Amino acid sequence: MPDCTVVVITYNDARRLPRAVRSVLGQTLRDLEVIISDDASTDDTPRVAAELAASDPRVRYLRREHNSGGCGAPRNDGLDAAAAPYVMFLDSDDELPRHACKSLLAEIERTGAEFVSGQISRLYEWNGRLHPYYPSLFARRRVVGGIREEPALFLDSFSTNKLYDVRFLRETGVRFPEEIHYEDHVFAAGLYAHARRFAIVPWVVYHWHRERGGSSISLSIKDMENVRHRVIAARRSDDVLRRHGLAGLVPDRQYRFLRQDLRVYLNPLPRRDLVWAKEFAAVVRPYLEEIPAEVYERVDPMVKVCCRLIMDDRAEDLRLAAGCLTGPRAAPRAAVQLGGRTYWGTTVSPGLDITRLRLAELPFSAARLRHEVTELTRDGDRVRMTVHTYDPFGALPVGWEAFLRLGRRRVPIHPRPSGDGGYVTEVAFAPEGACEPRIGFTRLSDRLTTTDRLIVDPAMRPIELPGGTLAPEGHTACLRVRRPARRPALLGRVKRLLIRRIGTPATKLRAYKLLIKVVRPRPDLALFESDVGKGCTGSPRALYEELRRRGLPIEAVWSVARGKAPDGARRVRRGSWKYVWTLARAGWWVDSHGFPLDYPKPRGTRYLQTWHGQGIKSIGFDAPDLRTDFDGPRAQWRAAVARWDALVSPSAEFSRRFVPSNGYTGPVYRYGTPRCDALVRGELSDDPRRLLELPAGKKVLLYAPTYRDRAKGSGRSVRADLELMAEELAGDWVVILRTHPVERYRPPEHLLHFVRPAGTYPEINDLMLVSDALLTDYSSVMCDYAITGKPMLFLVDDWDEYRTTERGVYHDLPAIAPGPCVTTTEELIARLRDLDAGHAAHAGRYAAFRELWCADERGDASARIVTDFFVRSPA
């Protein structure tokens, strides 16, 4: 008896069937069987399947005499024929990851579960990317004692991402219905109704393939019969739950229908014609009318609006509202604000309430306008365009100026009132390369700008021009300019190929090493870099400003990946040939993170390393990326550190930890931190209250978490529940969210009334000075913030993991923290409501913390370091 049976269902899929079967035969679990269950294919599938069966004794081939028209019958055939105690199902156009069977088998045997479910991921064949399906469902490995414990798992109604106990299925009679599509929804309802113990694992166990132009039941959503089958499956699933005494869970399963099943048809609805929209509404309306009102309150407000419009038979408005669901989530044409509530459209109805989206409360720079292109015609190499702008939330002030943005280019426009509260614009332009055209309005009182996309008719035919092709993009049909489709001349292609070959990092490094042998560094040239070229900030910027203030005869060049250099300095793009030349010629290097590691310092050049923070986190050879046994990275970092001629040390504690952990043996400047001079003096570089639109009368919380080494770019460092904080604190507080530069996180639009994203704000000192309190976790910002003397709070819900298996630390933060350490958002909210008392209770710790990290901060670090490094030391 094999350990596991994998049933591969197929119909007229001879091309992809071998790939699916090979994914099973290549499993690390060798003792398994494959049952190819053919639903009476009429192509070459029988021959292909027979060859697969002949090539491996683990493969069996079953063939139905007549096609069943769905997936239920062939799956049942495979289940009936399964010889193993456990079974999985696989579609012939998909694949199993290599360890799927073995890992699921180990889990079901370990837990004694009746089935095990794992992460299913879409695999887009044209780019090879995997997109996990509802990853939050599978984030935690666990055993669930029945669906009542976690009704959210109704969202996982797949049959293919699970390993089942065959005896459990046969004894309970859980089978696939054979006369409808979406049979897996009904099967899943029966599965959850009977199961008393099932397991969830967080790893990917199924690759759900998607190819361009592919066809399947799940992709045939334009077919109205497809809609009918999905509604039938929903009703039958509800009935299964009721028959098994789970009527109380029917609303949870109906929530799944609204959140997932209905969205499949609503998302592309703007591209459907009015006749299709009306027929669709007629099909789903009876089922929607059975769903309790409280279920609609759980879904996205715009889904609720669409459901209300379906039930009110407002098909044209439905197509308009559906455009607010995906992608840029277009703004409505009109909205009503009444009694503190906001309603979609021009009528007040509970079903049209969109208050939770907070669209009427957004700051001006995030305000939503709707720009509909009503006319778009070609005029030679240009297009003429008429745009109707709607201002549904009254965001536009009395004084403004407007423009059409085409990439980096701005074309001034002059909207005129339309008579319906909106504006009409006529503009002609010639595209110059790929871009997403946007219309922007700049408020004259403070020069802040809001921009939004242009919406076109989804049926618009592309307009090809020399400068690019204009066409609709996405379900909402936003206007997009694609790159011109012309093929470059042979000479141009050869030129680009040569540039690409001679411009590789390896070629530039070889050229650099040759350069430093033949050219001498200039004693009057300094190269500045901050955060590997991401900006012109931090301690290098403070030293540059001091150098400029004194008028020293040194030309400054800034290495910047994007953006401009400060006034009075030249800019070179990091990694460019000019950058390589400047590295070789500069007699002074100043940076906060590290110039390219493999670039040796020219003889005669002096290198000042300012570093970019201090704190409790392990660093250098103690940090995760260097504390391994691999010699290559350690040797590379050791050679990089050896280039430093001087190091800025903010404190004695920094010198005690940082210097030995990086193997540095050169001079140390213990004068404080140049970038903190502004903090000591309370000097702002700009006006963050204006730029971030911080409301007057509200307290400001700076939330600055650090990244997690094993989850860089994931956004998982933002561990506070911002939704809950907005609900509880938005009346009194506003949050400035300063994520780490390596993070990728943007708060959802409905939180922007409470959260101001400031990950790209150039100078964090401004944010510290304008805030009333700091919320952080293990970030070095705590040491700088202590200079201000203002309250700090620490969200340390993953402290044990962070200190033992994540980054590692030098200090026990809960024992030395100069403010309350909390592990839940609820606790954080309570502490913020009693902020002064908490701050007073930690006064002793705060003083000790400042003594440890800030004793040398006197506001003159930049001046003293410039004197010692640039004036007194020989170039």
CB 117 within 8 A of CB 111: no
Read off the pLDDT of each residue in 265-280 and give the average, rounded to a whole number.
Answer: 94
The whole-number pLDDT of residue 488 equals 58
Give residue-wise pLDDT tens across range 291-329.
999 999 999 999 999 999 999 999 999 999 999 998 889
The whole-number pLDDT of residue 370 equals 97
In sequence order, what are the residues at sequence separation of 6 or more whose Cβ sits closer than 8 angstroms to the Cβ of residue 687? none
Rounded Cα–Cα distance for residues 822 and 814 (Å): 9
Give residue-wise pLDDT tens across range 189-245.
999 999 999 999 999 999 999 987 666 656 678 899 999 999 999 999 999 999 999
- Dihedral sign (CA 858, 566, 771, 777): negative
Q: DSSP readout, 637-648? A: HHHHHTT-SEEE
Lowest mean pLDDT among 190-204, 241-255, 553-567: 553-567
Confidence of residue 464 (pLDDT cuts 50, 70, 90): very high
CB 81 within 8 A of CB 60: yes
Rounded Cα–Cα distance for residues 651 and 857 (Å): 8
As given in the structure block, the two tokens for residue 227 are 């809609």
Residue 263, burial from CB neighbour count under 10 angstroms (0-12, 13-18, 19+) = middle
Confidence of residue 374 (pLDDT cuts 50, 70, 90): very high
Rounded Cα–Cα distance for residues 409 and 413 (Å): 13
CB 146 within 8 A of CB 232: no
The whole-number pLDDT of residue 217 equals 59
Confidence of residue 99 (pLDDT cuts 50, 70, 90): very high
CB 323 within 8 A of CB 278: no
pLDDT for 796 beyond 90: yes
Measured distance between the N- and C-terminal CA atoms of the chain, rounded to whole angstroms: 80
The whole-number pLDDT of residue 498 equals 77
Give residue-wise pLDDT tens across range 108-165.
999 999 999 999 999 999 898 999 999 999 999 999 999 999 999 999 999 999 999 9
The whole-number pLDDT of residue 630 equals 78
As given in the structure block, the two tokens for residue 112 are 């004694």
At 686, phi and psi to the nearest 5?
Answer: -155, -165
The whole-number pLDDT of residue 833 equals 97
The whole-number pLDDT of residue 562 equals 84
Give residue-wise pLDDT tens across range 641-664.
999 999 999 999 999 999 999 999
Rounded to a whole number of angstroms, the CA Rg of the chain reads 32
Please name which of 36, 58, 40 lies closest in space to residue 49, comparing C-alpha atoms: 36
Please name which of 562, 569, 523, 527 lies closest in space to residue 545, comparing C-alpha atoms: 569
In sequence order, what are the residues at sequence separation of 6 or more whose Cβ sits closer than 8 angstroms to the Cβ of residue 637? 597, 620, 621, 626, 662
Q: What is the mean pLDDT of the chain?
A: 94
Give residue-wise pLDDT tens across range 15-40.
999 999 999 999 999 999 999 999 99
Q: Which is more confident, 805 or 60? A: 60
Percent of the chain residues past pLDDT 70, beyond the cut: 98
Read off the pLDDT of each residue in 251-267 and give the average, rounded to a whole number.
Answer: 96
- Report which secondary-structure segment, H or E, holds 775: strand 773-776
The whole-number pLDDT of residue 567 equals 85
The whole-number pLDDT of residue 485 equals 66
pLDDT for 875 beyond 60: no
pLDDT for 521 beyond 80: yes
